[in-house]
Amino acid sequence: MAEERRVITEITIFEDRREIWGLLKQVKDNLQFWIGDWARFGEKKGYYTDSKVYDELEEITGLKRQRIKQYKSVAERTESFRRLNDNELAFSHFEEVASLDPAKQKQFLDKASDENLSVRELRREIRLDNISNRQPELIEGKYKIIYVDPPWSYNGKQDIDSLGGANKHYPTI
């Protein structure tokens, strides 16, 4: 009987830990938004226009002012209902789309969610979309020379500077 109680207690503790972990994960996954919303709310009320208040936020959170402002910016530019419905997406996914208009945000967040894209993959999709939507300028007039520098892929046979090869910035051929 005592052994049975011990096993039941251990199972209950394990299940409680699992539930607690789920709650902690939810807090962890939303912490940046909460800090951003906190700063947004304070600014609307006129609290955070004084730099001393940002000093206090830095002290309370342990974060640098620039990071708090980044969280605030992302929270301002992304719809809150979207954040709640996309639990599988990280704050970084929202950071990537925050500068886009709401329709593009929806497009890319849906794609990231549906295809389980990493932040890096999402960034690449956004970059490719930007490239494909650019319209080349038409050249008018007559020219004796046309210089073309195609985006060649060197398959790792070139010296790569700190920014990486061309294929990290645009599609290559």
Q: What is the per-residue pLDDT across 77-91, written as a single tens digit (0 to 9) for each?
A: 888 777 766 667 888
Q: Phi first, then psi: what are they for 34, rounded to 5°?
A: -65, -40
Q: Which residues contact 58 (CB under 8 A, 6 or more apart)?
A: 64, 65, 68
Encode pLDDT of 132-151 as tens digits. 777 667 677 777 777 887 77
Structure tokens at 24: 């902690």
Q: What pTM value is reported for the model?
A: 0.60
